[in-house]
Amino acid sequence: GARDWYIPDDSDEQWEKMFNQQLEFKRLSGSWMASQSYRGAVHLVGCWTFDQQVKYRLFQAGNTVSPKTEARIKRLNAVGFYWGRSKKFPCWRERYIQLKELMPMIPGLSSAVTAGDYEAMQKLAPNCPGLANWVKMQRKYLLMMKHDSSKLLSADTIKKLQELGIQ
């Protein structure tokens, strides 16, 4: 079937819906870590969870966040939400370094990244599962920032992405 795509929606109604789905997932699975690689509701919960964790890390790093975000962090803390990340997923810096090191070594990877050709990236770097999705997410965050005043990415992060051809 068609994949359910997670589109960040900061409305109170959507946040509440996803919060309740996350609580239900936790009740059923015993884990806060829903996989983004599944389809359907689990995929959506996984993406929402990741989105909350990104906002929390920005908050922890001293970035200005909306009062709404601060209130949501308090609510998630109240239910014992897990702010860490899954051990099987590399952090942003690890992915950045991986891509930066691979681009000059793999012919065509640089142009695939610049063009946003995720299928080509997966074929060119098969030993780096998730790298193409990481690039896709960085592009998505950059696009979101063009249409929204939220600071999903720092100026330094944006500069690093642009140096790699991710616009």
What is the model's pLDDT at position 2? Answer: 41
87-134: pLDDT as tens digits: 555 667 777 877 887 888 888 888 888 888 888 888 888 777 778 888
What is the per-residue DSSP string for 22-82? HHHHHHHHS-S---TTS-HHHHHHHHHHHHHHHHHHHHHTT----HHHHHHHHHHHHTT--
Q: Is the dihedral of CA 77, 151, 49, 162 positive or negative?
A: negative
139-162: pLDDT as tens digits: 888 887 777 666 667 788 888 888
44-92: pLDDT as tens digits: 888 888 888 878 877 777 766 778 888 999 999 999 988 876 555 566 7
pTM above 0.75, yes or no: no
What is the pLDDT confidence band of residue 1, given thresholds at 50, 70 and 90?
A: very low
More confident residue, 5 or 100: 100
Per DSSP, the three-state class of 89 is coil
What is the model's pLDDT at position 152? Answer: 66
Q: What angle do CA 31, 33, 37 make, to 5 degrees?
A: 130
Residue 67 burial by CB count (10 A; 0-12/13-18/19+): exposed, middle or buried?
A: exposed
